[in-house]
Amino acid sequence: MDQAARRDVQGALPEGLGRAIRRTGDDIAAVLDGVAQTRSAVPGSQWTVGEAAAHLALANELMADLALGTERPYGDGTPQSLAAANAESLAGFGERRAEPLAAMITEQAARAVAALAATADGPAPVTPLGRMDRSVLASYLLTHMLGHGYDLARALRRPHMIHAERVALCMPFMLSVMPAVANAPAVAGLTARYTIRLRGDGGAFGVTVAGDAVRVAPEPQDRPDCTILIDPAAFLLIALGRRSPWSAMARGQILATGRKPWLAPRFPSLFTAP
């Protein structure tokens, strides 16, 4: 076991999180392996494969810098400002070749893990989505890598790297950010209590919508209006705006129960993908 992995296990990060980040970086590099041209489009995106890989490399570098306490202003957390920051970042970085980008993705992922472990007792970094403690920032990094890694795999018709164990490690970030990315028009006037259960050992959490606000708890509701049982990969892809809930339902990946099961299709619309 290498030194970074030992720090991971010893508690600087939640067990397995640092390893998952490094291995996801390796998996993304494998997706890019042997790709001669990167000008093909990423489905559902305005980016090419080269642009998506460049963004991921730059984002991993950003996360590593933030973990070290470096101030890196990057939008104000709104989707519009993040899109503008992404465009500005890409405009100033010309590399679009698969091999050097794959190397940068893996190197910066490992650098981020080492930085997060080395600065475990430092102040919470300021990220594009607000101040986060380091374990949540690491979860954010993994979530971001999985989302764009999925995009690259889909564009290149190669297997993606999302599975239940990795989704579980994304949940600290997902739960922390959900209130901040609530979709105000969709939430307005709604009163509902949800329990979300991830199939297998993915755990469960509760979401309460009331008073035009969203509250998230790391445990299921006692008396939910709607319980959603969902495949972990489908949950992450829907949450990140990569898959339609209707598509997941058609594949049998979502089951809704409770007093108001019809609230289930509405749940994804309550949030704007981070």
- Asked if residue 173 is part of any domain, the answer here is no
- Asked if residue 171 is part of any domain, the answer here is no
Q: Does 8 have pLDDT greater than 80?
A: no
Q: What is the mean pLDDT of residues 74-95?
A: 91
My answer on whether 49 and 109 are in the same domain is yes
> How far is Cα 255 from Cα 42, in angstroms, rounded to an integer?
30
| pLDDT for position 202 | 81
- Asked if residue 129 is part of any domain, the answer here is yes
| pLDDT for position 231 | 97
- Asked if residue 170 is part of any domain, the answer here is no
Residues, the chain: 274
Give the total number of structural domains in the chain: 2
4-13, 123-132, 156-165, 202-211: least confidently modelled range: 4-13
| pLDDT for position 7 | 45
Q: Which residues contact 267 (CB under 8 A, 6 or more apart)?
A: 194, 196, 207, 226, 228, 245
My answer on whether 108 and 221 are in the same domain is no
Residue 261, CA distances (Å) to 29, 159, 227, 235, 254 in order: 41, 33, 7, 17, 11
Q: Which of 231, 238, 234, 227 is nearest to 260 (CA)?
A: 227
Q: Which residues contact 196 (CB under 8 A, 6 or more apart)?
A: 204, 205, 206, 207, 220, 227, 228, 230, 235, 267
| pLDDT for position 34 | 96
12-26, 118-132, 221-235: least confidently modelled range: 118-132
My answer on whether 86 and 154 are in the same domain is yes
| pLDDT for position 18 | 95
pTM, two decimal places: 0.93
Is the Cβ–Cβ distance between 175 and 51 less than 8 Å? no
Q: Which of 126, 51, 33, 127 is nearest to 91 (CA)?
A: 51
Strand duo 126-127 + 213-217: pairing: unpaired
- The total of other beta-carbon atoms located within 10 Å of residue 170's CB is 26
Q: What is the pLDDT of residues 60-71, one digit of tens each?
A: 999 999 999 888
Q: What is the mean pLDDT of residues 155-183?
A: 96
Among candidate residues 132, 163, 194, the one where a domain is terminated: 163
The CATH number given to whatever domain includes residue 256 is: 3.30.1050.10
Q: Does 9 have pLDDT greater than 60?
A: no
Three-state SS string across 233-252, please? HHHHHHHCCCCCHHHHHHCC
| pLDDT for position 119 | 78
Q: Which domain holds residue 28?
A: 3-163
Q: Does 6 have pLDDT greater than 70?
A: no
**Cα Rg of the chain, angstroms:** 19
The CATH number given to whatever domain includes residue 113 is: 1.20.120.450
Q: What is the pLDDT of residues 97-121, one digit of tens each?
A: 999 999 999 999 999 999 998 877 7
What mean pLDDT value characterizes the chain?
92
Among candidate residues 131, 163, 195, the one where a domain is terminated: 163
